[in-house]
Amino acid sequence: MIASRSNSAPAPFTTDDFGERLRRAALSAEAAGLDGILVTPGPDLLYLTGYAPVAITERITMLVVPVDAEPAMIVPRLERPDAEEAAGAPIVRITDWVDGSDPYEACATLLTAAGRYAVSDSAWAMHLLGLQGRLPSSSYVSMTKALPMLRAIKDDDEVARLAAAGAAADQAYEEIIKVRFAGRSETDVAADLADLLRRFGHSQVDFTVVGSGPNGANPHHEIGPRIIEDGDMVVLDFGGLKHGYGSDTTRTVHVGEPTVEEREVHDIVRRAQQAGFEAVRPGVECQEIDRASRAVIAEAGFGDYFIHRVGHGIGLTTHEPPYMVEGETQILHPGMCFSIEPGIYLPGRFGVRIEDIVTVVPEGGRRLNQSSHEMRIVH
């Protein structure tokens, strides 16, 4: 039995916390020239109110945060009791609609007829089109495009939750390298890894990629029945949620002794990951992190085999803005949290990826993962 460290939960976010988030959201919308924001079930609603309803597509739930009025949320009547229990409910005016009535007509009463609103990226098209049908002079833009910083800068409590998730992922990694790899399927090792994430406090496991041998050359390989063999490079990419915030870690191990080439490729990726980390500091554009890592790989002659962006934001979900990718000119600010995960993928042979979660601090960057980047030998 593997013993886990204490998983005591942090204090929950308070009504005051959600009030401050709603206030900042309204100010951000006003600064963007909007009349407000419309938030449907998903991470934005959870962030602003603490409410996470079951996402039933045919019934609309919508939070309206106007720039010049109090926030209001409309919910199906049968779900109103749950909405009223959310931590942010005391500062949101809650109304409801009943089955058989027109929910879009009810929603329209909360909006300005010719208003311009940012809408959650997760909003269902059927609901947005229904609302637009009632307010044909209204217009809408993507939340990410209009308000990219809404959830991007984490406060100290959020960073602490992300750090706890990262530490739990590190613990899981240190234990998984003790298990037997050779002669077992990717699916079996992935199940062990998922179990370890849960033992170390994850309430939700989102993915456990085990890419062995040639499968490691597919960055998003789906685990399968392939039997791991002696001599395989194995990419381990795993993450989920602890205390409501995400982990996402990648390490690449080797079954038995690696070749000189395999060690060389692994070392190039390790140096690329370090270069990306060293580029992190306030005021730098997101794309510069990608450029720093990519330059190391390109200079080593493997530029054509690094086939994805170098990183993505993380928070209430394991993938969210900002993105560390060429063309993204968003400036880094203290409190932003994101992955740095360069890789080299040699088709039909093997792949290597190393990933940490990093947060921006005034003096540069701070890793939220502490497990070794060295190639670990498994058996």
pLDDT at 56: 67
0.85 surpassed by pTM = yes
- CA–CA distance, 141 with 131 (Å, rounded to integer): 14
Number of Cβ within 10 Å of residue 121's Cβ equals: 15
Helix axes 186-199, 156-176, angle to 10 degrees: 140
Q: Are 275 and 289 in contact (CB under 8 A)?
A: no
What phi and psi, each to the nearest 5 degrees, are found at residue 96?
-140, 170
Low-confidence residues in the chain, pLDDT < 70: 1-7, 55-56
* Amino acid 54: pLDDT: 79
Q: What sign has the CA pseudo-torsion 281, 284, 290, 296?
A: negative
Q: What is the pLDDT at residue 58? A: 84
| Domains with residue ranges and CATH for the chain | 15-146 (3.40.350.10), 156-378 (3.90.230.10)
CA pair distance 210, 187, nearest whole angstrom? 8
